[in-house]
Amino acid sequence: MPTNPATRYLHVQKTLYNRSCHYVGRTLRPREKVETRKSMRSFFILAVLLLAGCAAANNRNSVASEASAIPHDVSYAHARLAAALYPRLAADAEANDNLFISPLSLTEGLGLALIGARGTTETQLRELLAWSGQSKPERLVREYGAFLSDTGEDEVRLSVANALWLSRAIRFDPSYLNDTERYFGATAEPVDFGGDPLGAARRINGWVAQATRERIEEIVSADQFDQSTAAVLTNAVWFKADWSAPFKDGAMSEYTRGDGSRVPIYMMERIERLQYRESKDGQAVVLPYGSSGRFVMEIFLPRDSEVLRRWERDISALSFSLASQGSDAYFDLGAEASRQILLRLPRFEARFENSVRDALVAAGIPCAFDKACADFSGMADAPFAISEVAHATFLRVDETGTEASASTAIAIRVTAKPPVPDVPKMIVDRPFLVAIRDRASGALIFFGRIADPMPVEAT
């Protein structure tokens, strides 16, 4: 049994989850499902209370606050962010655009910024993520990432990584670097954004490519960097899993795109007993991965484009979680009964690469991007603001399973020029003389006066 209270809680939760998997072999009746969820929830609450008490007894100052935040507080941020961000991205997207984001990746990227945020900037970030300043759920991110990555089966693999890319010209607060490493497992790498922007971009993109198994090869570009670039905070997620039962049949068919046009596509097919929902608005199904069914893909098929727009517009954070009080669990099919169905699903790949800056501003964190308001004094003694948030994802679905990757890059800039040092100044703003010579031989190759310099275009 782990000794760290936060780790111990995750161990207890995982043990409870594994025990619950004994039910996977049969379909629970609705009443059994309700009772099982109630029992599990009560056990979780009791475990959290006991662990919080132990933590307080052992170390009331430092460990108790970590133990009081539970993994649900960490994961609820994913639903909260999706509900705040996705509708704004969908409103600006074209009918045929793929829109596939990673709330996990975005949450951890913003969490790296939150560690160094203060004042209104911190308040807005905590409100967006629903991460209390009292319990500080961000302190459990590394532990929770380890819990997610420990899938318990070879057929399901998941990895989460964080890194900081920091300007060599700025001294970052040691406590910020310590906290991001301790709570997020983030490595800190010095780079020369102003002197070698191409080299900085290559290093960041190389890290992202490696962390996403080459599925995302570029998240930043050299032209984004200059002397004012202070840091880039990155997250990468990679997921690859086999279906519990692979698709073995299929045939060519047609797919109707968002604008109504039709394109040929290969449709995989299987007949199987799956968790399934059908309503006047459409259909939904659960496709489990691996042998335990811990990880699943949930597919929601709207009746028509009007229903799709309504679903995208009216997303609620509570709709993603059966465990949340007051939830309608619309986008969580965990309580649905299983039944025999015929499923046809496209074999496809999809990518999303875009800035989510404007959507995040609209979602509730404008201060972080405003140089007059942003406060990241927890990072360094310099005026910082977020200048850009780039997000990229990859998704592949085929007969054997799913591969998905995501990366988030948060660029932070210095918002004010540093004071000019008190040194001699030479301002060449009047006629001057210029010489070009060979010092080895003494040859004077060029010499003369420049009284009317002609401007030239940069090459």
Give the CATH number, domain containing residue 313. 2.30.39.10
d(CA 344, CA 370): 48
Give a yes or no: residue 246 inside a domain: no
Indicate whether 334 belongs to any domain: yes
Query: Measured in whole angstroms, how far is the alpha carbon of residue 206 from the centre of its chain?
Result: 18
Distance CA 410, CA 204 (A): 12
Each residue of 242-264: pLDDT tens digit? 999 999 999 999 999 999 999 99
Q: Which residues are within 8 A (CB) of 213 and not within 5 positions of it... i.e. 6 or more apart? A: 238, 240, 403, 405
The residue to which tokens 């540093």 are assigned: 418
* Residue 73 counted as domain residue: no
User: Which pLDDT belongs to residue 444?
Assistant: 74
**Buried b / exposed e across 82-98, counting CB within 10 Å, b at 16+?**
bbbbbbbbbeeeeeeee
- Identify the pLDDT of residue 416: 83
Is the pLDDT at 130 greater than 90? The verdict is yes
Short-list 271, 245, 247, 276, CA closest to 339: 276
Asked whether 176 and 118 are in contact (CB, 8 A), the reply is no
Distance of CA 359 to the CA centre of its chain: 14
Q: Considering only CA atoms, which of 81, 77, 52 is closest in space to residue 64?
A: 52
The domain tally of the chain equals: 1
Q: Where is pLDDT greater, at 18 or 382? A: 382
Cβ neighbours, 10 Å, residue 34: 12
The yes-or-no verdict on residue 20 having pLDDT over 90 is: no
- pLDDT at residue 23 tops 90: no
Q: How many whole angstroms separate alpha carbon 207 and alpha carbon 223?
A: 18
347 burial class (0-12, 13-18, 19+ CB within 10 angstroms)?
middle
pLDDT at 358: 97
Q: Estimate the crossing angle of helix 103-115 against helix 119-129, to 10 degrees.
A: 160
Distance, CA of 119 to chain centre: 23
User: pTM of the entire structure?
Assistant: 0.80
Structure tokens at 274: 């799956």
- Give the model's pLDDT for residue 458: 57
Q: What is the pLDDT of residue 1?
A: 46
Strands 384-397, 348-355: parallel, antiparallel or unpaired by DSSP?
antiparallel
Tell me the three state secondary structure of residue 80.
Answer: helix
Tell me which of 25 and 223 has the higher pLDDT. 223
Structural domain span for residue 298: 255-346
Answer yes or no: is 125 within a domain.
no
Whole-angstrom distance, CA of residue 188 vs CA of residue 170: 13
Ramachandran region of residue 213, left (φ > 0), alpha (ψ -120 to 50) or beta?
A: left
Domain membership of residue 341 (yes or no) is yes
**In-domain check, residue 326:** yes
- Are the CB atoms for 343 and 36 separated by under 8 Å? no
What are 79's two structure tokens?
């639903």
Asked if the structure places residue 201 within a domain, the reply is no
58-74 pLDDT tens trace: 433 333 344 344 578 89
Q: What is the pLDDT, as a whole number, of residue 374?
A: 97
Average pLDDT of the residues in 145-159: 93
Q: Which residues pair with 208 in a beta bridge?
A: none
Mean pLDDT lowest among 171-185, 291-305, 367-381, 421-435: 421-435
Whole-number Å distance between alpha carbons of 45 and 49: 6
Count other C-beta atoms under 10 Å from residue 324's C-beta.
17
Mean pLDDT of the chain, nearest integer: 84
| 315: CB partners within 8 A, 6+ apart | 82, 83, 86, 87, 331
What is the distance between the alpha carbons of residues 86 and 312, in angstroms, rounded to a whole number?
A: 7
Residue pLDDT, tens place only, 82-115: 999 999 999 999 999 999 999 999 999 999 999 9
Torsion of CA 10, 12, 13, 17, to 10 degrees: 130
| Residues 6+ away with beta carbon under 8 Å from 106 | 81, 85, 235, 356, 389, 391, 408
More confident of the two residues 36 and 170: 170
The stretch 395-399 carries a mean pLDDT of 94
Instruction: Give the percent of the chain with pLDDT over 90.
Output: 69
Whether residue 331 is contained in a domain is answered as yes
* Average pLDDT of the segment spanning 335-340: 93
The residue type at 86:
Y
